[in-house]
Amino acid sequence: MMINSIQHRRSVRNFLDQPVEEAKLNEILEAARMAPSGNNKQPWFFIVVRDEKMRNEVAAATNNQMWIARAPVVIVAVADMLARSEDYAGMVVDEENSNFDVKRIIRDTSIAVTHILLEVDHQGLGACWCGGLTQKNIKPVLGIPQDKFVVAVIPIGYPAEEPKAKPRKALEEIVRYEHW
Ligand SMILES: Cc1cc2nc3c(=O)[nH]c(=O)nc-3n(C[C@H](O)[C@H](O)[C@H](O)COP(=O)(O)O)c2cc1C
């Protein structure tokens, strides 16, 4: 049942010193590729970072969360303004920008990141969505152009911990029927 997989996923922040198999990584990327998106624009890119020096630089640029670099693989999910219009070429997309198309590319890429997290768990691996970053710090580290937006840094590896489930609101608190 899909719900069992969804309930099983946790944010994992401690990783074993064990590489992630190529086949598993490819299925994780395939899960991202298959995500739905508005107008099927697929406004995303995924940078796979395995080099240790680069992992350290990415971790430093992600609010100095240096534990990220302990994961053997880090996927950086990047939303792309050019998927919406060529007119956006060179536009600065950062935390200050409230343009509606910015929201749309971030929304779509977030769906793909969710697919990644669920497939990671399904492969017996662990990951964490890390959004504590600024465009200003992370873009230069990976040479990401201004008209892109980094949505998530996702360290992935074999879990060295079994985190307890974090609490969730009860359905009664979040679901309304027929009207607000
Ligand atoms: C958009 C987003 C940004 C997040 N950023 C970070 C982060 O920068 N660092 C971190 O350790 N966890 C981060 N998390 C993980 C959350 O803390 C975690 O998902 C939440 O506490 C629920 O726990 P669970 O994922 O184990 O269910 C982020 C999660 C999301 C969805």
What is the mean pLDDT for each group of 10 consecutive residues in the chain (180 residues)? Answer: 94 98 98 98 98 98 98 98 98 96 98 98 98 98 98 98 98 98
Class of domain 2-174: alpha beta
**pLDDT score, position 106:** 98
Whose tokens are 């303004």? That residue is 81
Which residue, by CA, sits nearest to atom 25 of ligand 1? 11
* Ligand 1 pocket check for 132: Cβ under 6 Å: yes
Which residue, by CA, sits nearest to atom 17 of ligand 1? 11
Which residue, by CA, sits nearest to atom 2 of ligand 1? 131
Atom of ligand 1 nearest to the CA of 62: 8
**pLDDT score, position 171:** 98
CA-based end-to-end distance of the chain: 30
* Ligand 1 pocket check for 127: Cβ under 6 Å: no
**pLDDT score, position 1:** 83
Beta strands in 91-147 (DSSP E): 126-127
CA distance 156 to 68: 9
Which residue, by CA, sits nearest to atom 31 of ligand 1? 129
